[in-house]
A and B are shown apart, each in its own frame.
Chain A
Amino acid sequence: MQLRRTPILGAWGGEWRSRHQSQFEESRYNLRVFGKDRLAAIGVCWVAFMILVAVAAPWIAPYPDQGRGASDVSERLQAPSRAHPFGTDPSGRDVLSRVIYGARIPLVIPAIVVAGVLLIGVPLGGIAGYFGGKVDEGIMRMTDVFLAFPSLIMAMALVAFLGPSLRNVAIALVITWWPWYTRLVRGMAVSLRQRPYVLAARTMGVSRWTIIRRHVLPNTVGPVIVQVTLDIGTVILEVAGLSFIGLGAQAPTADWGLMISEGRQYILSEWWICTFAGLAIFLLVLSYNLIGDGLRDVLDPRTKR
C-alpha cells in the first residue's frame, strides 16, 4: 500500500492532520469528561470571563483613568451608588474600575511565574531522575536547600533585596517555586526510566538527552499540568500578599492586594474598598482550584480507559 504523495505543503498539512487525528479524538473525549464536571466548567467560565474583563478593561471600566491611577479627591470614600457601583477608595478612585484593571495582574504574573518555573524545574527534574547517581544527588540537595526556606518569607527577602516591583515579585516567586516541580518530575522520571520503551530506546542507541526530551518529559505532562493549575491559585495569593505588604505593585497601579492594603484602616466603616478586591481574589483562586480538580480527574491515568 503506497503512501499518498502530495505536494510539499499539502503533504505537511495532511500529515499533520493525520498525525494528530487520534490526539484530537482523545482531546475531544477529555473535554467531554471535563465538561461533565460542573464545578470545573464554572471555574473555566469565570477565568475566561476574567480574561475578557482584563483585556477589555479600557472599554468597559466606567472610569478608565482612575483605573490606571488618576485620583479625584472630591469623590473620596463614597459608598456604592449608581455612579460608582463599587464605591470609591480613599483617593477618590472608582473601585469598580480599579477591580477591572486589577484583573490584569493576577492573570499575567502567575503565567510568567509558571512559565519560568516549568522552564527551570521540569528539565532539571528530568535530568536528575534519569541520570541518577551524583547528578541526581546534586540537584536534589540543591532543591532541598531551597525548600528548607519558608517560601513566602524567602520571596519577601528577595523582593526586598531586589527592590519592590511586580517584576521582582515574579523573579522571586520563580526562584522559590521551581524546586517543587523538580521534585515532582524527578520522582516520575525515576520510575519512567525503567519502562520498557525507554530501555528499547537505549538499546537502539538513542542518546540520553533525546530520551529525556522525547520519552521521559512528555510522559510527565499530566501530573505537571494538574499541579500547575492547583499552584496558580497560590501564586495569585502570594502576589496579592506581597503587594499587600507593599513589596509588589506600587501605588497608583491597580492591584487587588494593594487595594486591600489601601482600604485596611477603613474596613469597618467603608467596607467596600477592601471587600470587592478581596472577593475578586477569592473567586479567581477558587476557579483555578476547581479547574485543577477537574483536570486531575481527566488526566489521572487510573480513571482513564
Chain B
Amino acid sequence: MTLLETRSLTVHFSVKRGLTRRSADVVHAVDDVDLAIEAGQTLALVGESGSGKTTVAHAMLGLVKPTAGQVLYRGVDITRQGGKQRRGMARELQVVFQDPYSSLDPRMTVRDIIAEPLRVHERWKTQQLNDRIAQLLEMVGLGTQHLWRRPHEFSGGQCQRIAIARALAVEPRVIVLDEPTSSLDVSVQARVLTLLEDLQQRLDLAFLFIAHDLAVVASVADAVAVMYLGRIVEIGLAAAVLSHPLHPYAEALTASVPRPDPEERCTRAPLAGDVPSAIDPPSGCRFHPRCVCRTDLCSTEQPLLREMDGRLVACHTPGYAADIAPADLSASNQTTQHDAPGRPAGRRAAGVESPSRSAPARRASRP
C-alpha cells in the first residue's frame, strides 16, 4: 500500500538580490519528481550535491512549500493542509537527520528530547511518560541511565540512536532518514543500520532513505531513485538499478564508488566536470554536458521517464554508457573541454560560456 507519494513535485527557490530585494534568480531545486513509498519498504533517494534529494525530503515533511505538484499521504494532499490536520499527520511521518549532534537540542536532556513529540499530541501522566521513554530507549539499545544526560555527552552513534528513539516515539508509519549514517564511523554505521533493519521488521515501518553512499544504499534499499540536478533520472528496484544501471549518470555514479578491493581497481575515466548550477540548468537533458553518449536530441529535448528493462529511465540513449570502452587511465587527468569553473548562484565566471550552448554535440559511438 502506498503511504507517501509525490506527484510532479516541483520546488523552486528565488534568490533575492540587491537593495530592492527583487528576486533575480530562480534555483530549480526539484523538478517534476514522482515518488512512491510503500508500507514496510525502503525507498532510497540517491544523488550528489545539487541533486535536490534533501529538498524533496523537506517538501515531503512539510518544511518547504512546493512550488507545484502534490505530496500525498494516504491519498490526502498534505501540502494544502492547515496546522491541525498537519499535526495529525505529523504523528505518522517522522524524520532522522544527518548530523546527530545538531539534530538534538543541546540544552535539553535526553528525556525531554524524546518526550517532546509525545507531549505534542497528548497529555501524559509522568509515570506513563517515563515508562514509554524507557521502552523506547531499550528499543534502540540505550538504558535509562542516559535519561538525564545531554547530547554532547554522547558519541555520534548514540546520539543518532536517541534521534531514532525520538522518531519512533509516536509510532510513525514512515520515517524519512536524511543521510542518517553519513557522519558515523563504519563500525557505528553498521550498528545503526542493523538497528534500523530490525526496527523496520518489527514495527512495519517504511523508510525514505536518503544517501550518497551507494554501498549503504545497496544493503538497505528495496527500491532506488537516482536524482541529478533536481530530476529523477532512473528509478526501480534496488537490485536492478544498482547492479546494471541504464542511465549514464547512474552508471557513472555506481562506477565511481571506490570498492575496498585493490584487485578491482577501477580503470574507467571518472565522470568529467562538475555539477552545473541549479539556477541555470542545461537545456534538454540536464546531464548532457557531462554525458559520454549524448546526441543532438539530448541538448534540446528533456527526456521523460520511460519504462525499460523493469525500471523507469529518463534518457534518450539509455544503456550505452556501459558499453563505451573505458578511457585510458592517463587521459583521466585532464579535465575535458566542457568543464566550466563552476558558477555559484547568480554569478557567471568571466569569459566562460555555458557549455550546453557552445560545445558541439557529439554522436555516441555505437558498437
- List chain A positions with a Cβ less than 8 A from chain B: 1-3, 5, 11, 18-23, 26, 195-197, 199-207, 214-215, 218-219, 305
Contact = CB atoms under 8 A, between A and B. Distances in A.
A196 B127 CA distance: 29
Contact of B93 (A22, A203, A215, A218): A203
14 contacts: A3-B127, A20-B148, A21-B148, A22-B148, A23-B150, A196-B102, A199-B61, A200-B163, A201-B116, A203-B63, A203-B93, A204-B120, A206-B116, A207-B83
Among A5, A22, A196: residue with most chain B CB under 10 A = A196
B130 A199 contact: no
Interface string B47-67: 000000000001001110000
Contacts of A19: 109, 111, 148
B16 to A, nearest CB: 12
Contacts, number: 80
Contacts of A195: 102
Contact of A219 (B83, B99, B106, B143): B106
Given A22-B149, A199-B58, A199-B63, 4 more contacts: A1-B138, A199-B97, A200-B166, A218-B107
Q: Mostly helix, strand, loop or mixed at chain A's interface?
A: helix
Nearest to B148: A18
Interface residues of B, number: 45
A219 B107 CA distance: 7
A202 B65 CA distance: 13
Contact of A203 (B95, B98, B102, B127): B95
A21 B109 CA distance: 10
B168 to A, nearest CB: 12
B321 to A, nearest CB: 36
A3 B152 contact: no
A203 B90 CA distance: 6
Contacts of A11: 126
B86 A200 contact: no
A19 B131 CA distance: 16
B95 A3 contact: no
Given A2-B134, A199-B95, A199-B97, A22 B153 contact: yes
B74 interface: no
